[in-house]
Amino acid sequence: MKYAEWLMEVPPEITNDPIWKLEVYRLALFAGDIGREDVYLLAKQPLMLSVADQLHRSLDSMSVNLTEGYSRSKGPDRARFIEASLGSARESREWYYKSRHVLKPEVLKHRMGLTTRIVSMLTPMIPHQRKHAIREEQAEYHIQSSVFSLDSDVPFQ
């Protein structure tokens, strides 16, 4: 499955909502959907059960926090939910890294690339919602197009 194919499967109840216009929301929702297969695989190994649970929660939390924050008025309240989504994206990337001994290298590379892209999109959104700058140093996230592409097939185990 490719990202473009996945987009066609999302029901109008989701795509007709104004939040659908945010690419970062679409990518976060996509990450949660494709990550489910990774969670199933990890959950089959007793030592990875807690990792699977945490990965599942953090993946789903990315889009859920964006949805709740988008429903708030602009400002610090909305920024708080974007920060939560950012934390979940970083957490997801971390759980994927911890899953590197179980997941195939191409799956790991794709998922870490996707979560890094989400992080890079969320980070600049926060200062726009706050009167003060973000509380951490700005970091540039470079994603090599040869490493991560939304046009490629999504690898699964």
Q: What is the CATH number of the domain that holds 103?
A: 1.20.1440.60
The model's pLDDT over 100-127, given as tens digits with 9 standing for 90+, comes to 999 999 999 999 999 999 999 999 998 8
pLDDT of residue 137: 53
- Name the residue with tokens 């969670």: 39
Look at residues 83, 65, 88, 67 and name the one whose alpha carbon lies nearest to residue 129. 83
Does a structural domain hold residue 11? no
Give the count of domains, the chain: 1
Does a structural domain hold residue 5? no
pLDDT of residue 85: 98
The token pair that represents 109 in the structure block = 């590379």
